[in-house]
Chain A
Amino acid sequence: MNVPTEAYVALSGVLFAIGAMGVLVRRSAIMVFLSVELMLNAANLAIVAYARHWAGFDALAGMTGQTVVFIVLAVAAAEVAVGLAILIAIFRDRASTDVDGLAEVRL
Chain B
Amino acid sequence: MATFVVLAAVMVVGALGVVLLRQPIHAALSLVGTLLALAVTYVTLEAHFLAAIQVIVYAGAIMVLFLFVLMLLNVQDAGPRRSLPGLRWAAYAAAVVTATAIALVAFWDGRPAPDPAVVSLHLQGGSAGGIADALFGELLLAFHLVGVLLLTGVVGAVALVQRRAASAHGAPKGFGLPAGRDLPGSGDAAAGKARALGPGGQR
Residues in A lying within 8 Å of B, measured CB to CB: 1-22, 24-28, 30-31, 33-35, 37-38, 41, 44-45, 48-49, 51-53, 55-60, 62-64, 66-71, 73-82, 84-89, 91-93, 97, 99-100
Contacts and interface: CB of A to CB of B under 8 A. Distances in A.
A71 B168 contact: no
B131 A100 contact: no
Contacts of B11: 11, 15
A69 B134 contact: no
A72 B196 CA distance: 60
Contact of B113 (A2, A71, A77): A2
Contacts of A38: 15, 18-19, 31, 34
B69 A74 contact: no
Nearest to B51: A48
B114 A53 contact: yes
Given A63-B123, A82-B156, A56 B61 contact: no
A49 B45 contact: yes
A106 to B, nearest CB: 14
Contacts, number: 282
Nearest to B145: A71
A20 to B, nearest CB: 6
B112 A76 contact: no
A4 B38 CA distance: 17
Interface residues of B, number: 99
A39 B15 CA distance: 10
A52 B119 contact: yes
Interface in B117-162: 118-119, 121-123, 126, 130-131, 133-135, 138-139, 142-143, 146, 149-150, 152-154, 156-158, 160-161
B130 A31 contact: no
Contact of A27 (B15, B78, B123, B165): B78
The list of the 9 closest CB pairs from A to B, nearest first, reads: A56-B114, A13-B102, A78-B153, A24-B91, A21-B95, A22-B19, A59-B122, A10-B103, A17-B99
Given A24-B91, A48-B45, A88-B161, 8 more contacts: A7-B106, A10-B106, A10-B107, A30-B66, A48-B47, A59-B121, A84-B157, A92-B168
Given A2-B116, A45-B41, A56-B119, A85 B157 contact: yes
B35 A6 contact: no
Contacts of B139: 64, 67-68, 71
5 contacts: A10-B102, A10-B103, A22-B18, A34-B66, A41-B38
B110 A4 contact: yes
Contact of B18 (A7, A35, A71, A82): A35
A58 B103 CA distance: 26
Interface string B78-112: 11111100011011101110110111001101111
B115 A56 contact: yes
Most buried by A among B47, B50, B99, B118: B47
